[in-house]
Chains A and B, each alone.
Chain A
Amino acid sequence: SQQGEEDPQALSIQEGENATMNCSYKTSINNLQWYRQNSGRGLVHLILIRSNEREKHSGRLRVTLDTSKKSSSLLITASRAADTASYFCATLEGGGNKLTFGTGTQLKVEL
């Protein structure tokens, strides 16, 4: 399987703390994307980082990409209870149009 790996599998933090999730992948990519899924519903696109970018910000989200290590991280700062969800990284291979998803991280933010 070409599926990427994410760690940790599960993360529990207090509101206000930062949450960091890591993603590793196996192939050369065009871009890497992060998605959120609430309670087994549809996925919501959070942020996309291209293979020639190293860092990207969007609101409380910060994504880094290291193509030499084939890894990415997602940082959520000042977490809120509403951030409780599963987070997935997904890669798009160069020249392709199919997303390959990581195994996911379950984040729980407690009040």
Chain B
Amino acid sequence: SAVISQKPSRDICQRGTSLTIQCQVDSQVTMMFWYRQQPGQSLTLIATANQGSEATYESGFVIDKFPISRPNLTFSTLTVSNMSPEDSSIYLCSVERAGDRKYGYTFGSGTRLTVV
């Protein structure tokens, strides 16, 4: 199954600034998924990132706020732009473990973001 390296693991940022989170996968994958987990809450999908095309955003999330890059089949970045304290969350990337949907998804270890 895929192994994901996500960084940074945590950061404390000033409001108004931006943070870019990186996910590197040890194998080629078609789709990568970005989630947000607000304090004490469940996971909410932000967007799906396909290589060579624009990311597909879920309702309530926009590209200007959460731009995503997917330059190749093993790497993606999520930027949290113009941050406010409400953006304080854990951000996670994820990929399918195998193409046939039998084995679930693999997640990165998460980025704990605090905006002050």
B85 → chain A, closest Cβ, in Å?
A: 17
**Number of A residues, CB within 8 Å of B:** 23
Q: Is the CB of A48 within 8 A of B43?
A: no
Residue among B41, B105, B112 making CB contact with A33, cutoff 8 Å: B105
A103's partner among B6, B42, B90 (CB-CB below 8 A) is B42
- Determine if A41 is an interface residue (Cβ-Cβ < 8 Å): yes
Residues of chain A with a CB closer than 8 A to B33's CB: 98-99
A30, A44, A99: which has the most chain B beta carbons within 10 Å?
A: A99
Question: Chain A nearest CB: distance from B59 CB in Å?
Answer: 10
Residue interface mask B29-52, A partner, CB < 8 A = 1: 001010001000111110010000
- How far apart are the CA atoms of A23 and B44 in the complex, in Å? 17
Q: Which residues of A contact B48 (CB under 8 A)?
A: 97-98
Return chain B residues, CB-CB under 8 Å to A42: 4, 6, 92, 107-110
- Residues of A close to B15: CB separation below 8 A: none
B114 → chain A closest CB, angstroms: 12
> From B97, which residue of chain A is reached at the shortest CB distance?
A45
The A42-91 residues at the B interface (CB cut-off 8 A) are 42-45, 48, 88, 90
Q: Which residue on B lies nearest to A88, using beta carbons?
A: B42
Interface residue ranges, B against A (CB under 8 Å): 4, 6, 31, 33, 37, 41-45, 48, 90, 92, 94, 96-97, 101-110, 112
Going nearest first, the 10 A-B pairs with the smallest beta carbon separation are A45-B104, A42-B109, A43-B107, A42-B107, A101-B43, A101-B42, A33-B104, A48-B104, A42-B110, A104-B42
